[in-house]
Structure 1
């Protein structure tokens, strides 16, 4: 059974509606409660999203002026950014209640946001990943380090309707 916790994402001025749609898909797959974003770029492009599972209709996706004014109460702020001094994700213990903040695809999280973070983590790679890939890896890492439902029933509920494949013993 999945461990109950509150998980939210904060996106700093995301540029690409496709990336945000992919983040919403990940949010639906990994149990994110809501997504906040700043800036106008996504707001202008969101009608052209590629969220094929329509998670944008299920997960509140809210434009805000300041991510911290809308931060979920009692959530630790975890900034996810490739910056010196950050904690490598494989070594990180995720808090129960987390507000993960991601920078824009074409920039970095600014010092004001970094200084307000409880933790700063990064995904060790050979090159930087895009926003959606980073969110997927982070959310998967969080789930993999917690108790989760590994039953066949969970597989049946999660898979695509056209997939009825089984591993034969």
Structure 2
């Protein structure tokens, strides 16, 4: 797989520690470069993170998610909101900062207004936070591999 570009994850006030552990594991498994967490509702470590991803991927924490976004990345809101592109037709930015809301809410207008890209996973109901991160990162990896095969 090409080493160009990267995916980073932003979590807004996650509520459930098991989900943070699942997000950390997904980030590690799918090669995310960074996990940034706004707020301190949950610990970073969890029994769901059997790979102990926090030892291998930088984890940043703060009160302002925007101060944690890597330079020259595209903020992508992942939320069930009007105008979001459905994942099957979504083209992932080369340098992406995927922002996921809390389990007990959505990203809200202020965050959404700052995201030039929005994506949603078409489903009958909203997904669990960790499951959503897994689906987004897997889709990114699969589409990247497909584009590399086409270029070869």
TM-score (norm 1): 0.82
Partner of residue 89, structure 2: 91
Deviation at 1:4, TM superposition (A): 2.3
Task: Map 1:94-113; keep pairs closer than 5 Å.
Answer: 94-113=92-111
Deviation at 1:48, TM superposition (A): 4.4
- Identify, as 1 or 2, the structure richer in strand: 2
2:79–2:119 contact (8 Å) kept in structure 1:
yes
Moved over 6 A (4+): none
Work out the CA distance in 2 between the residues paired with 1:109 and 1:31: 24
The answer to whether 1:38 aligns with 2:38 is yes
Partner of residue 13, structure 1: 13
After superposition, the C-alpha distances for 1:107-165 in whole angstroms (9 at most, x for unaligned) are: 000101000001011000111101000000000110111127xxxxxxxxxxxxxxxxx
Task: Map 1:14-163; keep pairs closer than 5 Å.
Answer: 14-43=14-43, 46-147=44-145
Partner of residue 151, structure 1: none
Higher Cα radius of gyration: 1
**Matched pairs, number:** 146
Work out the CA distance in 2 between the residues paired with 1:123 and 1:131: 12
Structure 1 unmatched ranges of 5 or more = 149-169
Deviation at 1:57, TM superposition (A): 1.2
Deviation at 1:16, TM superposition (A): 1.1
- C-alpha change, 1:48 and 1:32, in structure 2 (3 Å) is closer
Deviation at 1:69, TM superposition (A): 1.3
Structure 2 unmatched ranges of 5 or more = 147-152
TM-score (norm 2): 0.91
Q: What is the aligned-residue RMSD (CA, Å)?
A: 1.3
